[in-house]
Amino acid sequence: MGAAVIDTLDREIPDGEERMRLEVTGDGLGVLTLCRPEKLNGWSWESSRQLGLLADRIRFDDAIRAVLLRADGRAFCAGIDVTAPGGAITGRSPAERTHRYYEGIRWAHERFAAFARLPQPVVAAVQGYCLGFGFELALMADIRIAAEDAVFALPETAIGVAVDAGGDLRIARDAGAGWAKLLALTGRRVDASTAERLGLVQQVVPEAELEKEARAVASEIAANAPLAVRAVKRNIDAFADAGLAEALDRTAMAAALTLTSEDAREGYAAKAARRPPTFEGR
């Protein structure tokens, strides 16, 4: 994809380059932790690759009956890490660059699907900033428990790009199209209590109790009959996600077109300069 973004054939995670780590406990849990707190667990192409690798490991591990998705530090995930190497995709022409972004985003969607479609239920424990892709990742979990300090937002349109991982679609599914449009079109931040009222999180707890409560829910699921649990998850997802695959393909193209636009260039430049952007629709 133009500039080498990632090595898609690499099946290993080099020491010191971990974006997340997996721990299998003795009580049926797989604990998946975002582990770059110094970067507020910012997301990158490499993060997507590692998510896919660890999802494959979880899927075929019979010792894992439920997954606890958590994060080190004061933020769950503050969105895309714009300082990560290989972030920009190049091309010999605007059309080629758009095509490469489209294929890159489709590739990332496949990694996300491996995670979202795990047979084991996923419980997300969310604290602090849960922005952009962080919010979208949390929405891929089956159950979300938030600390009282959690803050959620999809700020993409404010920097000139479309929501690229389906978070707006999942909000429409869980909270309704009106709320999806309000949050995605404005980029407005909402607190944990509002997210709970909208059905985007299932429980809000004090920050000090987040880990305990999320682990308790995951452990309660893990204690139940695994074949029944997996069947129930598949059945609910089949109903809730009807039409999601087609919508995600449209999402990939919209993201590719906007990521290569002059508006996106202006949006990122304005954010770096801490000034209001001037968008011209091109």
Q: Which of 46, 156, 220, 262 is catalytic?
A: 156
Asked if 125 contacts 211 with a C-beta cutoff of 8 angstroms, the reply is yes
The residue behind tokens 């979300």 is 144
End-to-end CA distance of the chain: give it in Å, rounded: 23
How many angstroms separate the Cα of 110 from the Cα of each of 9, 12, 216, 248? 14, 18, 30, 10
136 is known as an active-site residue: yes
What is d(CA 255, CA 248) in angstroms, rounded to the nearest whole number?
A: 10
156 is known as an active-site residue: yes
Q: Which of 136, 213, 246, 262 is catalytic?
A: 136
User: Which residues carry out catalysis?
Assistant: 136, 156
